[in-house]
Amino acid sequence: MAQRPPEILQRAMDAVAAHGNCAAAARALGLPAQTLRDQYIEARNKGFKPQNQALSSWKTENPDVATDSNAPPEGYKIKGTSTLVNGRGETLVQWIKTDRELEQLERMQRAALQAMCEELKPLPEVAAPQHSDEDLATLYTLTDCHIGMLAWDKETGEDWDLNIAEETLVTTLIQMIAAAPNSEVGIVNQLGDFLHFDSLTPMTPTNHHILDADSRYQKVVEVAVRVLRRVITAALAKHKFVRVYAHEGNHDPAGSVWLRVMFSQLYSDNPRVYVEKSPNPYVAWRHGNTLIGFHHGHLAKPTSLPLIFAAKYSKEWGETEYRYVHIGHRHHVHEIEHPGVKVVQHPTLASPDAYAARGGWLSKRQASSITYHKLLGEVGRGIFVPIRKVT
């Protein structure tokens, strides 16, 4: 094969450096893509370098896929390479495969949400109750609500959509709060999987399983925000102080981020509301002699949670006598008392979806309020079943 003149090889190297890949370089020079690609590969194998490094920040090992000289593009990570070699073992083409880095995506999303929330006006204060028992704290748990899920009663036994979800959750929680004692502290415990899906595409964020979804993601978000706001407002009318949690679930890890950021901004001027902003999936709060922990239940088995919380909150663990860890995820009631701590698994108010119904995973739909005493631990509990009509 005839040797190409050095100036032709240098031109090919400079063009790829300037335009990022062979296809773009060929278009700029008016050459067939294969001709430019052959020139570039020969130039690279002979050790040619771009004459002007400032032309491009792209490394030129792959003539078809642009890759940064020191790292993949921001928000991506290298997950593997594919290399094409000839019979002499010489590299002809190498593809560097990248994937979005989830942690970086979450950081970018959190920054965008923070900017969005700068435009939100804090909500006005709700009048505090005249009397409350300073020794008591009442926990209201909403878990696995799956707002945005679509269920057909002929297939699942019960219907579920955006309208039914909003009616059911709001009316049940308002009844629950009204029936509770006048505790000084009310805890709105949104325990994860509040939303059925986490993006414009209705699928699970980790395994990308297609989900039965009702409506558009923006409408799902609007319903979720309305539900949580109405529950918090009812809790503020009942309790002197309200603590709000929006834990991550396996269906809504990103949704939990914007819920925490948004609601912390909405109530930023209200001294009676505390919104937990920590992204830690294992959260605990101490109420006198009682330690209350929270985790959705998707990252650790229930039997592992006592040791996890004892390690993460060793000081509070050692200074309390009564300890409880609340989880959801499995959609049914299960409680087990380990030495020194009780793990409470909560059911859901939502109906089963097609996947659960076909798998035979059925349980009674209900939610509970649990009241804790600073000195005595759990002292009361109420069980509530779904109610549909909004009051």
- Whether residue 389 lies inside any domain: the answer is no
Task: Tell me, yes or no, whether 172 lies in a domain.
Answer: yes
More confident position, 307 or 355: 307
C-alpha 183/C-alpha 372 separation (Å) is 9
Shared domain check, 129 and 90: no
Alpha-carbon span 25 to 11, nearest angstrom: 10
- Supply the pLDDT for residue 41: 87
Percentage of the chain beyond pLDDT 90 is: 62
Does 390 map to a domain? no
pLDDT in the model for residue 280: 97
Model confidence pLDDT, tens digit, residues 6-64:
888 999 888 888 877 888 888 888 888 888 888 988 888 888 888 865 443 334 444 44
Does 105 reside within a domain?
Answer: no
Average the pLDDT over 141-153 and give the result: 97
State which of 36, 67, 100 marks the end of a domain.
100
**Paired residues of 68 in beta bridges:** 58
Q: Give the percent of the chain with pLDDT over 70.
A: 81
d(CA 285, CA 274): 12
pLDDT of residue 348: 97
Q: Assess whether 278 and 369 both reside in one domain.
A: yes
- We report the CATH number of the domain holding residue 244 as 3.60.21.10
Per residue in 242-267, is it b (16+ CB within 10 Å) or e — as a string? bbbbbbbbbbbbbbbbbbbbbbbbbb
> Of 50, 65, 100, which one is at a domain's C-terminal end?
100
Q: Are residues 331 and 242 in the same domain?
A: yes
The residue among 318, 331, 388, 317 whose CA lies nearest residue 365 is: 331
Over residues 253-274, mean pLDDT: 95
> Which residue among 41, 73, 100 closes a domain?
100
Q: Is there a domain that residue 107 lies in?
A: no
pLDDT tens, residue by residue, 228-241: 999 999 999 999 99
Residues 131 and 83 in one domain: no
**What pLDDT sits at residue 239?**
98
Cα atoms in the 13 Å half-sphere on the side-chain side of 200: 0
pLDDT at 59: 41
Average pLDDT of the residues of the chain: 86
Q: Which of 28-37, 86-95, 119-128, 336-345 is least confident?
A: 86-95
Query: Do the domain assignments include residue 111?
Result: no
The reported pLDDT for the residue numbered 208 is 87
The mean per-residue pLDDT over the stretch 83-87 comes to: 56
Q: Are residues 122 and 72 in the same domain?
A: no
Q: How many domains does the chain have?
A: 2
- Clarify whether residues 185 and 58 are in a common domain: no
Same domain? For 125 and 91 the reply is: no
Please tell me whether residues 84 and 230 are part of one structural domain.
Answer: no
| 3-state helix, strand and coil shares in percent for the chain, rounded to the nearest 5 | 35, 25, 40
Per residue in 174-229, pLDDT tens? Answer: 999 999 999 999 999 999 999 999 998 899 998 888 899 998 999 999 999 999 99
Per DSSP, the three-state class of 57 is coil
pLDDT at 54: 44
Residue 1 lies in a domain: no
Residues 268 and 369 in one domain: yes
- Residue 345, beta-bridge partner list: 327, 334
Residue at 192 is within a domain: yes
User: Which range marks the domain in which residue 375 is found?
Assistant: 118-384
Residues 93 and 242 in one domain: no
Is the pLDDT at 361 greater than 60? The verdict is yes
* Residues 33, 149 within the same domain: no
Q: What is the pLDDT of residue 93?
A: 56
Query: Do 72 and 131 fall within a single domain?
Result: no
Query: Span 150-176, mean pLDDT?
Result: 96
Per-residue pLDDT tens over the stretch 374-389: 999 999 999 999 976 5
